[in-house]
Structure 1
Amino acid sequence: MLVVDDSRLQRRILASLLQKWGLSVIEAESGTDALAICEVAPPDLVLSDWMMPGMDGLDFCRAFRRLPAEAYGYFILLTSKSEKIEIAQGLDAGADDFLTKPVNPEELRARISAGDRILAMQRELSEKNRIIRDTLERLQAVYDSIDRDLKQARKIQQSLVPRLSQEFGSSHVGLLLKPCGHIGGDLVGMFSPRAGQLAVYSIDVSGHGITSAMMTARIGNYLSAVYFDQNLGVEPGDGGYVLRPPAAVAAELNARLMADTGIEEYFTMAYATVDLESGRLSLVQAGHPHPLLIRGDGRAEFVGTGGLPIGLLADAPFAQTELTLAPGDRLLLYSDGFTEARVRGGGMLDAQGLVDMVARCPPNGSGQEWLEDLFWDLTAQMDPDCEMEDDVSAALFEFNAG
């Protein structure tokens, strides 16, 4: 504790009382000397006379409050002043308490005890703040590490869809993949094991985040456009590989997923194969939204027979829909991130909203650019107070024979 008084006798009286009570005391005979002491070692408690030559107690208190300090210092002014305006001046300067002269020992002890309680609470609060600050710093370090990992995971996931647009003879496929976070549970893709044959798919894994993204990586390997020896959508034939029926692919994926114990995730899928010469299209719809067939004249109709998601039930049946496309027809496979998006006015976009958006898209638009226009229309309709809650993805197949 620092005792400041220009009267040596007064300092000694106060110091003697304080030392009897077990306090360590430092003395200063002026505000200037006291400030120099505080600059080196800020005290917890200061007991300072108000009226001193040179720097008085009020000026010293102001200077004391301006000093940088990690902990709070409790400041008591000794004064013969008792007017309210003078007490207000002391409080404004930064004093915490006042004692009138001559000092009553019991009152002094009580005031110091009150100050000590406040300092104890302040130290406890400072320690808790330190713990919180340290914890937040550790959490920030963990968050930064996770954020870096997620950004890298996003790059890896994007590598599963290396091409967003590709020509197959006169036909064309465009892809759209918009995760609602760093990574998502949607996957779109295409592959062609030989000229004249094409498979295109849209997949939505249950849930969001890392687990769903890991599932999309696994499914992406099952439907690899590069390593056909690992692709469940093809089988050996005619000196190379040929496409398997979509229903057989869905059944094989279901068997693989059901065989893995401990995996609770499932996924929906719309998977189609096309003969690029005849326009013959085979489709399986496993719990996924009904694909939208857009005829060359602009008419649109939903196709598919529904079905169970993959990974829910062993030996689940998967029905196959057969269609014949005419030149200029397009097939849109999409995730429910489109139809279940929250739009202005409440509610979801729904299937009719998707049809209306398709009608508004440029009729001569093509591929990925057309899908981007569709997504832009969706975001323009979304409730601005709601963030994108689900991944949005789509695959557009445009058929032209030859």
Structure 2
Amino acid sequence: MVDDSRMQRRILAAQLAQAGYRVLEAGTGEEALSICAAEEPDMVLSDWVMPGMSGLDLCRAFRAMDRKGYGYFVLLTSKTEKGEVATGLESGADDFLAKPVRGDELRARLAAGERILRMERDLQEKNRLLTDTLRELQDLYGSVERDLQEARKLQQSLVKERHRSFGSAEVSLLLRPSGHVGGDLVGFFPINARRVGLYAIDVSGHGITSALMTARLAGYLSGTSPQQNIALIQSEYGIYDARTPATLAAYMNAVVLEEMKTDSYFTLVYADVDLFTGRAVMVQAGHPHPVVQRADGRVEFLGSGGLPVGLIEGARFDSFETVLAPGDRLFMMSDGVTEAADIDGNLLGEDGLCALMHRNAGLRGETFLEALMWDLATYSVGEMNDDVSGVLFEFNGAKQNAD
């Protein structure tokens, strides 16, 4: 209670005390500021006209103070002109009481102030809880982010070798997830001295579940542990052969449905390629059509589609084949390539892929794949919303020996 009249202060202080308030008194604005700094009162009632610092100046100084919570400020005045009232509001006053002050009106005005302060404190508490929750979420997000970064490294390590020369041919791999981790997997493994297996897989969905399934599938088609590779069959003499592509797809379909017991499924292109003759026997299971680019630049799409793996029990898969001549190359890619969309939502499609392959016909191996990624990013204006992967097999000519 701030008033240069001691009598006025005592009268109002007594009324407030009877109403249940704890009252501190100040005779000047300067004294009131000192009390406000030390006590942080919930409400200030101040006379407008006082010697030295006026109630208006006190209100401005009060609003400029660093406080933990809001303070309700009421000016006591005999001023009634609208311009003066507006000045008081602009200075930070919350309410006005005309002098002489009636006790019932004073209590009613302060009760309104209490409601505002309660709402402000409730809001502060909710903000505190929100801030604490956001901090916990940020900590959790940071932990998940670090885990996902490590998961990305682990998934990339599934493709241990991105390029290999077999003398008569070269294999190059591309794997670019759209997020931290993805559901695409590409790879190759020697079948024996004259044949190599190539595969491109796209697991349904995105994220951690898909990434875990790709890790499991990478173990099934291991190039470093042939005894664990379900595509390979070892004879009694220790010589490895391979299941036919259609048989492998059917076997993987049964494994996924019986052993993994998951709602996820995947699309697949698998090729068994002879390094001597260039003959490639393949199976397509729901994956985009594999592409052959001939030495003269012609582009051919192979296969007839087929069902995804792990979706339908007892699904049937069919093999098909092509023969690669020297200078030909086989490209097996995920739908992240053909379904790349421009700013208007138009998909690249098979015609667009043909155009990109013609444009980059003079490039080879990893350089070709990097150029393809550059063209896709340009086409989609940098917004790649799906994983992009591919296997590029370039046939140079018949292998000279089987050693």
- TM-score tier after normalising by the smaller chain length: over 0.9
Q: Counterpart in 1 of 2:287?
A: 288
Shift in CA distance, 270/261, structure 1 to aligned 2, threshold 3 Å: closer
Alignment of 1:128-147 (within 5 A): 128-147=126-145
Q: In terms of mean alpha carbon deviation, does 12-21 or 62-71 score higher?
A: 62-71
The letter for the 2-side match of 1:241 is Y
Q: Is the 8 A contact 1:177 1:186 kept in 2?
A: yes
Shift in CA distance, 83/337, structure 1 to aligned 2, threshold 3 Å: same
Q: Is the 8 A contact 1:170 1:400 kept in 2?
A: yes
Aligned mates of 1:261, 1:246 — CA distance in 2 = 21
Q: In terms of mean alpha carbon deviation, does 212-221 or 315-324 score higher?
A: 315-324
Residue 245 of structure 1: CA displacement?
2.1
Q: In terms of mean alpha carbon deviation, does 341-350 or 63-72 score higher?
A: 341-350
Count of aligned pairs between the two proteins:
397
Could you tell me which of 389, 392, 398 is aligned with 2:385?
389
Alignment of 1:64-103 (within 5 A): 64-103=62-101
Question: SS of 1:229's equivalent?
Answer: helix
Is residue 232 from structure 1 mapped to residue 269 from structure 2 by the alignment?
A: no
Q: Deviations over 1:341-375 (max 9, x none)?
A: 222433311111111121112x2211121011112
Q: Is the 8 A contact 1:305 1:321 kept in 2?
A: no
Is residue 272 from structure 1 mapped to residue 274 from structure 2 by the alignment?
A: no
Q: CA-atom RMSD, angstroms? A: 1.6
Residue 73 of structure 1: CA displacement?
0.6
Structure 1 stretches lacking a partner, 5+ long:
none
Q: Deviations over 1:189-242 (max 9, x none)?
A: 111244332111110000111111111111011111111111112222453433
Q: Counterpart in 2 of 1:313?
A: 312
Q: Counterpart in 2 of 1:212?
A: 210
Q: Deviations over 1:301-353 (max 9, x none)?
A: 10123211100122221111122111111001011111122224333111111
Question: SS of 1:26's equivalent?
Answer: coil
Aligned mates of 1:76, 1:240 — CA distance in 2 = 96
Aligned mates of 1:382, 1:58 — CA distance in 2 = 62
Shift in CA distance, 167/261, structure 1 to aligned 2, threshold 3 Å: closer
Aligned mates of 1:60, 1:260 — CA distance in 2 = 78
Residue 176 of structure 1: CA displacement?
1.2
Q: In terms of mean alpha carbon deviation, does 239-248 or 123-132 score higher?
A: 239-248
Q: Deviations over 1:150-170 (max 9, x none)?
A: 111111100101222221223
Q: Counterpart in 2 of 1:323?
A: 322
Aligned mates of 2:333, 2:214 — CA distance in 1 = 16
Aligned mates of 2:68, 2:293 — CA distance in 1 = 70
Q: In terms of mean alpha carbon deviation, does 256-265 or 176-185 score higher?
A: 256-265
Shift in CA distance, 261/187, structure 1 to aligned 2, threshold 3 Å: closer
Q: Is the 8 A contact 1:267 1:309 kept in 2?
A: yes
Aligned mates of 1:191, 1:29 — CA distance in 2 = 92
Shift in CA distance, 35/240, structure 1 to aligned 2, threshold 3 Å: farther
Report % sequence identity.
55
Q: Which runs of 4+ in 1 moved over 6 A?
A: none
Q: Is the 8 A contact 2:168 2:276 kept in 1?
A: no
